[in-house]
Structure 1
Amino acid sequence: MEVRNEVFISVDIETSGPIPGVYSMLSIGACLVDRPETIFECTLKPLNRNADLEALAVTGFSLADLELSGAEPRQAMTEFDMWIKAARGEGGTAVFVGLNAPFDWSFINYYFHNFYGENPFGFTALDIKAYYMGVTGSSWTETRSSVMASRLGPAHKANHNAVQDAVYQAELFRLTRQLGRKSKL
């Protein structure tokens, strides 16, 4: 069996609503889980003016401002792919890591396929909530980030800035991984 170099990449996004295509991905933040100072960050032009007002309020973004300052989706996904390829190196496998990964991955996957042609993460993602649940034996309701943070004691906090949240998520994942390793001893 071939052993591949797995490069864990924490990804967080901000959106204008709950589903890709109907709503827009407004920002992408990513960092290497084991080198969180290595980051990718961009804002995107919205696909349309559809917005869930609560979701938009959380992001702090203005669709009108992003129409002027955001990257075209094709450009954003091309740049993200280049960053991922550089981060994973020759022969490495990029592993998408997210807190509530199904949500973030669905937008990333949609944008990669629609504006770039392929998703460098493939068709899978590692969900920190599910991983934490497996390591700790907790219930699903105990996988809220606030509950995880109270147990794990991360130095970072989430604030709905995609790159800062990616760094926070990476720390939660590292701490959960450490907890899992300790329990095996």
Structure 2
Amino acid sequence: MTAEIYVSTDVEADGPIPGPHSMLSFGSAAFSAEGELLSTFSANLELLEGAAGNPETMAWWAGQPEAWALTRSNLQPPATAMANYLAWLKALPGKPVFVGYPVAYDFLFVYWYLMRFTGESPFSHSALDIKTFAMAMLKLPYRESTKRHMPKRWFPASPHTHVALDDAIEQGQLFCNMLAEHRAQP
């Protein structure tokens, strides 16, 4: 059986959906099932041709000038970044499983960009949502399964910076803590 590698991924974007809006930056942190950080990948992307920032999203970014500036440095064409990301995913020592919080947002962008610029996705159509996993573990309704209802012991000491790779590592550690606790239950 091939080992699963949990690829915690965080996306920073200038709008709610890819195409009309651009993925500004993304970071992925690959973890073993035992919680070992195996490898990381991050890239800042040039804007999509013809895309524009969503006014509400751009107003939010106006309040995050340091994080915004970090997404706009060392830019790569999306085709280059996604080809490099695909190669990184394929080199992982197991089958990649996309992990996100919220997974619907991050996976939407990464999957769209992979398909648009490489024509394939090693994740297939699958993604693991940390919030849904918390719902199952905590036995709470989905809308109550937020970070503020999660036990403090699940959280790493890492801050949430809105820098994609930092946030991917933080949420990957959160997921691995949850997974270890879940597996330890009788």
TM-score range, shorter chain: 0.7 to 0.9
Q: Which amino acid letter does the alignment assign opposite residue 129 of structure 2?
A: D
| 1:80 and 2:81 are equivalent in the alignment | no
CA distance in 1, matches of 2:52, 2:24: 12
Report the 3-state secondary structure (helix = DSSP H, G, I; strand = E; otherwise coil) of the residue aligned with 1:154: coil
Q: Which amino acid letter does the alignment assign opposite residue 136 of structure 1?
A: L
User: Counterparts of 1:8-47 in structure 2 under 5 Å?
Assistant: 8-33=6-31, 34-36=35-37, 38-47=39-48
Aligned to 2:128: 126
Structure 1, residues 140-168: CA drift from partner, whole Å, max 9, x if none?
23322233263524222212110010111
Contact kept, 8 Å, 1:31 with 1:166, in 2: the verdict is: yes
- Aligned residue pairs total 177
Match of 1:182 among 175, 181, 184: 184
CA distance in 1, matches of 2:25, 2:151: 24
Report the 3-state secondary structure (helix = DSSP H, G, I; strand = E; otherwise coil) of the residue aligned with 2:76: coil
TM-score by length of 2: 0.85
Q: Which amino acid letter does the alignment assign opposite residue 44 of structure 1?
A: L
Identity of paired residues, percent? Answer: 32
Match of 2:75 among 64, 70, 73: 70
- Point out where structure 1 has 5 or more consecutive residues left out of the alignment: none
Higher mean alpha-carbon deviation, 164-173 vs 52-61, is at: 52-61
Structure 1, residues 54-104: CA drift from partner, whole Å, max 9, x if none?
3433473259x83x74110000101111111112x3xx3111011111110
User: Counterparts of 1:129-144 in structure 2 under 5 Å?
Assistant: 129-144=131-146
CA distance in 1, matches of 2:19, 2:151: 32
Contact kept, 8 Å, 1:32 with 1:38, in 2: the verdict is: yes
Higher mean alpha-carbon deviation, 118-127 vs 173-182, is at: 173-182
Q: Give the direction of change, closer, same or farther, for the CA distance of 1:76–1:137 in structure 2 (3 Å limit).
A: same
Report the 3-state secondary structure (helix = DSSP H, G, I; strand = E; otherwise coil) of the residue aligned with 1:61: helix
Aligned to 1:98: 100
Contact kept, 8 Å, 2:138 with 2:145, in 1: the verdict is: no
Q: Which amino acid letter does the alignment assign opposite residue 36 of structure 1?
A: L
Contact kept, 8 Å, 2:83 with 2:118, in 1: the verdict is: yes
